[in-house]
Copies of this chain bind each other. A is one copy, B any other.
Protein backbone atom coordinates (compact mmCIF):
# COMPACT_ATOMS: atom_id res chain seq x y z
CA UNK A 1 0.00 0.00 0.00
CA UNK A 2 1.39 3.38 -1.02
CA UNK A 3 1.96 6.27 1.37
CA UNK A 4 0.85 9.83 0.81
CA UNK A 5 4.19 11.26 -0.38
CA UNK A 6 4.57 8.54 -2.98
CA UNK A 7 1.09 9.11 -4.28
CA UNK A 8 1.70 12.84 -4.50
CA UNK A 9 4.91 12.10 -6.38
CA UNK A 10 3.05 9.92 -8.85
CA UNK A 11 0.56 12.65 -9.50
CA UNK A 12 3.39 15.07 -10.23
CA UNK A 13 5.19 12.56 -12.42
CA UNK A 14 2.09 12.42 -14.57
CA UNK A 15 2.33 16.15 -15.04
CA UNK A 16 -0.85 16.63 -13.06
CA UNK A 17 -1.30 19.27 -10.41
CA UNK A 18 -1.27 18.54 -6.73
CA UNK A 19 -4.36 20.44 -5.77
CA UNK A 20 -5.91 20.88 -2.38
CA UNK A 21 -8.92 18.63 -3.13
CA UNK A 22 -6.63 15.92 -4.45
CA UNK A 23 -4.52 16.02 -1.32
CA UNK A 24 -7.60 15.87 0.84
CA UNK A 25 -9.09 13.00 -1.08
CA UNK A 26 -5.81 11.07 -1.05
CA UNK A 27 -5.63 11.51 2.69
CA UNK A 28 -9.23 10.44 3.20
CA UNK A 29 -8.74 7.41 0.97
CA UNK A 30 -5.64 6.32 2.87
CA UNK A 31 -7.56 6.42 6.12
CA UNK A 32 -10.14 3.95 4.85
CA UNK A 33 -10.04 0.60 6.57
CA UNK A 34 -12.21 -1.28 4.13
CA UNK A 35 -13.98 -1.01 0.81
CA UNK A 36 -15.93 2.19 0.27
CA UNK A 37 -18.11 3.77 -2.38
CA UNK A 38 -17.69 7.19 -3.92
CA UNK A 39 -20.72 8.42 -2.05
CA UNK A 40 -19.41 7.12 1.26
CA UNK A 41 -16.13 8.89 0.68
CA UNK A 42 -17.93 12.10 -0.16
CA UNK A 43 -19.95 11.90 3.02
CA UNK A 44 -16.82 11.28 5.03
CA UNK A 45 -15.10 14.27 3.48
CA UNK A 46 -18.04 16.49 4.21
CA UNK A 47 -18.16 15.15 7.74
CA UNK A 48 -14.56 16.33 8.12
CA UNK A 49 -15.50 19.76 6.90
CA UNK A 50 -14.01 19.19 3.45
CA UNK A 51 -16.44 20.52 0.85
CA UNK A 52 -15.27 18.61 -2.20
CA UNK A 53 -17.73 18.20 -5.04
CA UNK A 54 -19.12 14.89 -6.18
CA UNK A 55 -17.54 15.25 -9.57
CA UNK A 56 -14.13 15.86 -8.08
CA UNK A 57 -14.44 12.80 -5.90
CA UNK A 58 -15.37 10.61 -8.85
CA UNK A 59 -12.61 12.10 -10.99
CA UNK A 60 -9.99 11.69 -8.31
CA UNK A 61 -11.10 8.16 -7.59
CA UNK A 62 -10.61 7.32 -11.25
CA UNK A 63 -7.20 8.95 -11.14
CA UNK A 64 -6.19 6.93 -8.11
CA UNK A 65 -7.27 3.73 -9.81
CA UNK A 66 -5.11 4.66 -12.78
CA UNK A 67 -2.18 5.45 -10.52
CA UNK A 68 -2.51 2.05 -8.91
CA UNK A 69 -3.42 3.48 -5.55
CA UNK A 70 -6.89 1.98 -5.55
CA UNK A 71 -8.56 -1.05 -7.04
CA UNK A 72 -12.13 -1.01 -8.13
CA UNK A 73 -14.22 -3.90 -6.85
CA UNK A 74 -17.87 -4.72 -7.25
CA UNK A 75 -20.33 -5.43 -4.55
CA UNK A 76 -22.87 -8.12 -5.40
CA UNK A 77 -25.52 -5.42 -5.44
CA UNK A 78 -23.72 -3.82 -8.34
CA UNK A 79 -22.33 -0.85 -6.46
CA UNK A 80 -18.88 0.33 -7.44
CA UNK A 81 -16.54 0.23 -4.50
CA UNK A 82 -12.87 0.91 -3.99
CA UNK A 83 -10.14 -0.64 -1.89
CA UNK A 84 -6.57 0.38 -1.33
CA UNK A 85 -4.37 -1.46 -3.79
CA UNK A 86 -1.00 -2.87 -3.01
CA UNK A 87 -2.58 -6.13 -2.39
CA UNK A 88 -1.08 -8.54 -4.83
CA UNK A 89 -2.71 -9.07 -8.15
CA UNK A 90 -5.90 -7.13 -7.90
CA UNK A 91 -8.14 -10.12 -7.28
CA UNK A 92 -10.64 -10.14 -4.50
CA UNK A 93 -13.40 -12.11 -2.96
CA UNK A 94 -16.36 -10.08 -1.86
CA UNK A 95 -18.63 -11.39 0.85
CA UNK A 96 -22.16 -11.63 -0.50
CA UNK A 97 -23.55 -10.85 2.91
CA UNK A 98 -21.55 -8.12 4.62
CA UNK A 99 -19.47 -6.83 1.73
CA UNK A 100 -16.14 -7.67 3.35
CA UNK A 101 -13.32 -7.86 0.84
CA UNK A 102 -10.33 -10.16 1.04
CA UNK A 103 -7.48 -10.38 -1.40
CA UNK A 104 -5.67 -13.53 -2.29
CA UNK A 105 -1.97 -13.22 -2.86
CA UNK A 106 0.11 -15.54 -4.96
CA UNK A 107 -2.95 -16.41 -6.94
CA UNK A 108 -2.35 -18.65 -9.88
CA UNK A 109 -4.63 -17.02 -12.36
CA UNK A 110 -1.60 -16.60 -14.54
CA UNK A 111 -0.97 -20.34 -14.46
CA UNK A 112 -4.57 -20.91 -15.33
CA UNK A 113 -4.32 -18.57 -18.27
CA UNK A 114 -1.15 -20.23 -19.46
CA UNK A 115 -2.99 -23.54 -19.43
CA UNK A 116 -5.88 -22.07 -21.38
CA UNK A 117 -3.52 -20.64 -23.96
CA UNK A 118 -1.94 -24.05 -24.37
CA UNK A 119 -5.33 -25.74 -24.68
CA UNK A 120 -7.12 -23.33 -26.97
CA UNK A 121 -4.48 -21.47 -28.92
CA UNK A 122 -6.19 -18.23 -27.99
CA UNK A 123 -4.17 -15.19 -27.21
CA UNK A 124 -5.54 -14.03 -23.86
CA UNK A 125 -5.55 -10.26 -23.48
CA UNK A 126 -7.42 -9.94 -20.26
CA UNK A 127 -9.53 -11.72 -17.74
CA UNK A 128 -12.27 -11.09 -15.27
CA UNK A 129 -12.47 -13.30 -12.22
CA UNK A 130 -15.19 -12.92 -9.69
CA UNK A 131 -15.63 -15.16 -6.67
CA UNK A 132 -18.83 -15.31 -4.68
CA UNK A 133 -18.92 -16.41 -1.09
CA UNK A 134 -19.20 -15.69 2.57
CA UNK A 135 -16.48 -14.39 4.85
CA UNK A 136 -15.61 -16.31 8.00
CA UNK A 137 -17.81 -14.13 10.18
CA UNK A 138 -20.85 -14.41 7.98
CA UNK A 139 -20.45 -18.17 7.70
CA UNK A 140 -21.19 -18.45 11.40
CA UNK A 141 -23.80 -15.78 11.24
CA UNK A 142 -25.54 -17.60 8.43
CA UNK A 143 -25.24 -20.98 10.07
CA UNK A 144 -27.13 -19.56 13.01
CA UNK A 145 -29.81 -18.03 10.83
CA UNK A 146 -29.98 -20.95 8.47
CA UNK A 147 -30.96 -23.44 11.12
CA UNK A 148 -33.80 -21.17 12.08
CA UNK A 149 -34.90 -20.58 8.52
CA UNK A 150 -34.22 -24.07 7.25
CA UNK A 151 -35.95 -25.67 10.21
CA UNK A 152 -39.26 -24.57 8.82
Contacts and interface: CB of A to CB of B under 8 A. Distances in A.
Interface in A121-135: 121-135
Interface residues of A, number: 42
A60 interface: no
A127 B131 contact: yes
Contact of A122 (B75, B122, B126, B134): B134
Given A74-B78, A108-B115, A122 B127 contact: no
Contacts of A121: 102, 135-136
Interface in A33-79: 72-76, 78
Given A75-B128, A78-B74, A80-B78, A93 B108 contact: no
Interface of A: 72-76, 78, 80, 93, 95-96, 102-109, 111-113, 115-116, 119-136, 139
B130 A73 contact: yes
Contacts of A132: 124-128
A53 to B, nearest CB: 21
